[in-house]
């Protein structure tokens, strides 16, 4: 079986390329969607703004596997436009340890276009002996955005607690450490306070806000998360 990784020089693309190569598959790479690849399966690891039918149409494959974080319905629209099956396989990698995380994932998530291709992609990851969750593409697209939106929310929450603690003349970090001894309270963001940045959390929280607005909703909590982040020193 021949695999392609479109965007193989990026963080996610490099991790995907390295894993599949180590698992013994023939893998070819395309940088940033340029050029043309021919493969049985093409993993798409591009910035979401260029995960488009125009970009992907340069490549020849039986199945596109989108690893990029995309808005709900993206994979369905791409499949309709390209006339090729499109599956969603979101990544949950940390930038500083992406390759290590790829080899040791907590779970593998597959948003299926059909059972046949879901089985195929699940078989690629089977040697990792990790839990594999299979569902439909809209669920996985929103679940990936939800993960980063949740992390952003937790950080903004603890930043507000830090502000209260500072006014009281006590340590917000100590408050967070004590509070997170409760098993119901995540310790993520509770120790070190400051605004969130990077490539994912701001962007994906904004994507959630946009998705909610497009559905006629008022995402008040998510908007507050972004406002707290903007106001954080």
Q: Is residue 55 part of a domain?
A: yes
Nearest to 106 by CA among 116, 118, 94: 94
Q: Are residues 25 and 115 in the same domain?
A: yes
Domain boundary among 130, 159, 190: 130
Domain boundary among 98, 130, 162: 130
Instruction: Point out the catalytic residue in the list 45, 75, 113, 200.
Output: 200
CATH of the domain at 184: 1.10.1040.10
pLDDT recorded at residue 58:
93
Q: Are residues 106 and 170 in the same domain?
A: no
Q: Are residues 150 and 119 in the same domain?
A: no
Would you list the DSSP string of 14-29?
HHHHHHHHHTT-EEEE
Q: Is residue 120 part of a domain?
A: yes
pLDDT recorded at residue 35:
84
CATH of the domain at 12: 3.40.50.720
Q: Are residues 126 and 163 in the same domain?
A: no
pLDDT recorded at residue 102:
98
Q: Are residues 65 and 117 in the same domain?
A: yes
What DSSP designation does 126 have? G
Whether residue 113 lies in the annotated active site: no
Domain boundary among 130, 151, 186: 130
Q: Is residue 178 part of a domain?
A: yes
Q: Which residues contact 170 (CB under 8 A, 6 or more apart)?
A: none
What's the number of domains the chain is made of? 2
Q: Are residues 52 and 115 in the same domain?
A: yes
pLDDT recorded at residue 32:
80
Distance CA 15, CA 198 (A): 18
Q: Are residues 85 and 187 in the same domain?
A: no
Q: Which domain holds residue 55?
A: 2-130
pLDDT recorded at residue 34:
79
Would you list the DSSP string of 64-122?
EEE-S---TTHHHHHHHHHSSEEEE------GGGHHHHHHS-S-EEEEESSHHHHHHHH
Q: Are residues 122 and 147 in the same domain?
A: no
Mean pLDDT by groups of 10 residues along the chain of 233 residues: 96 98 96 88 96 96 98 98 98 94 97 98 98 98 97 97 96 96 94 90 96 97 97 89
């Amino acid at each position: 079986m021949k695999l392609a990784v479109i965007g193989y020089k990026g963080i996610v693309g490099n991790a995907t390329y390295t894993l599949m190569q180590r698992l013994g598959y023939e893998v070819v790479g395309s940088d940033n969607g340029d050029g043309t690849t021919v493969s049985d399966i093409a993993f798409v690891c591009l910035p979401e703004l260029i995960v488009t039918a125009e970009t992907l149409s340069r490549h020849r494959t039986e199945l596109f596997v989108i690893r990029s974080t995309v808005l709900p319905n993206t994979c369905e629209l791409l499949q309709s436009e390209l006339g090729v099956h499109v599956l969603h396989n979101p990544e949950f990698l940390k930038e500083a340890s992406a390759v290590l995380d790829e080899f040791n994932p907590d779970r593998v998530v597959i948003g299926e276009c059909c059972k046949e291709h879901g089985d195929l992609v699940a078989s690629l990851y089977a040697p990792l002996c990790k839990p594999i969750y299979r569902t439909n593409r809209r669920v996985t697209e929103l679940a990936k955005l939800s993960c980063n939106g949740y992390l952003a929310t937790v950080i903004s929450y603890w930043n507000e607690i830090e502000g209260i603690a500072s006014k009281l003349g006590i340590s917000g970090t100590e408050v967070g450490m004590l509070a997170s001894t409760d098993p119901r309270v995540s310790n993520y963001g509770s120790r070190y306070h400051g605004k969130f940045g990077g490539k994912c959390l701001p962007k994906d929280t904004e994507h959630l806000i946009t998705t909610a607005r497009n559905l006629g909703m008022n995402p008040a909590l998510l908007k507050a998360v972004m406002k707290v982040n903007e106001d954080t020193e």
